[in-house]
């Protein structure tokens, strides 16, 4: 039987599952996950949890045309553990699937339920000839 869980619901379930963990430590292990689609959703959930925990303004993931991936959180200028090239590409695909942003640029609010609460993020996608970037903005 096929799993009919939506990517957004799966991200919420993973947020619930990893709520009591250290998101950065878990993010560092994501590139070793065998299932890249699952790992992409896990990385997104961990990024949300890390952003909430550290009061981040935004977290971004940028994939370059050569396949390399760079991540960054804005609360102090620092990099997050990269999900790696394969999972990084899947993260971008998952964000596009959840938000239904199809063009080169777009932004949309995304509400995620986490345990007995919820959070609304502003999700931005920006693609140019060199790279594709997703940004999760926290707060208003």
- Catalogue all structural domains in the chain, each as residue range(s) with its CATH number: 7-137 (3.30.450.90)
- Residue 135 pLDDT more than 80? yes
Average pLDDT score, the chain: 91
pLDDT tens digits along 98-133: 999 999 999 999 999 888 888 999 999 999 999 999
Q: Which residues of 82-106 are buried (b: 16+ CB within 10 A; e: fewer)?
A: bbbbebbbbbbebbbebbebeeeee
What is the per-residue pLDDT for 74?
87
- Residue 1 pLDDT more than 60? no
Higher-confidence position of 80 and 86? 86
Mean pLDDT (whole number) for 59-88: 88
**CA atoms of 10 and 123, how far apart (whole Å):** 17
Q: Read off the tokens for 17.
A: 């599952």
């Amino acid at each position: 039987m096929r799993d009919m869980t939506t990517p957004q619901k799966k991200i919420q379930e993973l947020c619930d599952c990893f709520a009591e963990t250290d998101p950065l430590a878990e993010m560092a292990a994501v590139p070793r996950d065998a299932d890249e689609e699952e790992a992409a959703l896990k990385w997104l959930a961990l990024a949300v949890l890390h952003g909430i925990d550290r009061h981040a303004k935004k977290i971004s993931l940028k994939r370059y045309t050569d396949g390399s991936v760079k991540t960054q959180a804005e609360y102090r200028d620092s990099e997050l553990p990269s999900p790696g090239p394969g999972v990084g590409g899947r993260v971008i695909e998952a964000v596009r699937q959840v938000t239904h942003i199809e063009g080169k640029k777009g932004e949309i609010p995304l509400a995620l339920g986490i345990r007995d609460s919820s959070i609304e993020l502003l999700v931005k996608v920006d693609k140019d000839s060199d790279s594709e970037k997703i940004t999760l903005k926290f707060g208003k």
